[in-house]
Structure 1
Amino acid sequence: MIYSPIIKEYALYTLFPNGLNLFIYDKKNTNKYTYLSANWVKSVDKIFYHIKGNIIIMNDKGDFLKTDEIFWDSKNQKIFNEKYTKIVSNSDGIILHATNGIEASEDLKKIILKNISGTFPIK
């Protein structure tokens, strides 16, 4: 489900110049979803997305990712970038910083961080 104030359709791509809020529901359980919000999005054939500005991606567990630019390949269910990215795990309080980008599944279950640092709570 997509919420956006303006959607511009062109022959080769779709533009969301004022951003969007996107909910990607799990096919098996519609109570589970991944949420994405951003200030600007360009979609090519509804398969490949270039996303910029104040990006937040949150999975159904409340874990979230924050960055300023990311690419999303919806066909292969992968996201990636080469920008600073922050990931926060809601369940255990771990905060990770990837200074050279990430590669991850769109649900944030599998993540590869590039040049990582982080904060780990001690129990």
Structure 2
Amino acid sequence: EIFYYLKGDLEFKLIAQEMNQFAKTSTFPQGIEIYVYNHRLDTIATILADYAIQDNNQNIVEARSNVVLTNSNQEQLNTEQLFWNSETKKIYTEDFVTLNTKNQIIMGFGFEADQYFSTYTLSNITGTIYL
């Protein structure tokens, strides 16, 4: 487990069974779990993936393979590649995504959100299913 703090507040926690640290990157070949917290220490977003690599210089985590992003509204995004920039606090991808909300399933290419996955946009929507 790795805990990240900003100005004394826990910002997120990263859990991985294996971490390989190099000069410029860290790899997580057995997958990762990232939990993002608010100031009350509530988990407000999670990122799960089968593999990840972190660029230590740019503070960017690239999650790959079976990536699942969820938020506190129980919305879930599924994709095969997702980037999280902890410095700009943005989550994004140009890959195909499926977004499940309470009322619909939206499919398309391209997604961007704040790190809390509370505000987001989908770019090229290819289909919507209303539930």
Deviation at 1:2, TM superposition (A): 2.0
- Return the letter of the residue paired with 1:118: T
- 8 Å Cα contact 2:69-2:78 kept in structure 1: yes
The alignment-based identity, stated in percent, is 20
Structure 1, unpaired ranges of 5+:
none
Query: How far apart, CA to CA, are the structure 2 residues paired with 1:30 and 1:56?
Result: 21
Tell me the C-alpha RMSD between the 2 structures: 1.5
Matched, 1:51 2:51: no
Query: How far apart, CA to CA, are the structure 1 residues paired with 2:43 and 2:62?
Result: 24
Query: How far apart, CA to CA, are the structure 2 residues paired with 1:21 and 1:70?
Result: 13
SS across alignment from 1:84: strand
Identify the residue that residue 129 of structure 2 maps to in structure 1.
119
Q: What are the Cα deviations for residues 49-104 of structure 1, in whole angstroms up to 9, with x where unaligned?
A: 11100000111121111000111111111111111101111xx3221111x21122
The TM-score, its normalising length taken from structure 2, stands at 0.82
Runs of 4+ in 1 over 4 A off after TM superposition: none
Aligned length: 117
Identify the residue that residue 114 of structure 2 maps to in structure 1.
105
Bigger fraction of residues in strand = 2
Structure 2, unpaired ranges of 5+:
1-12
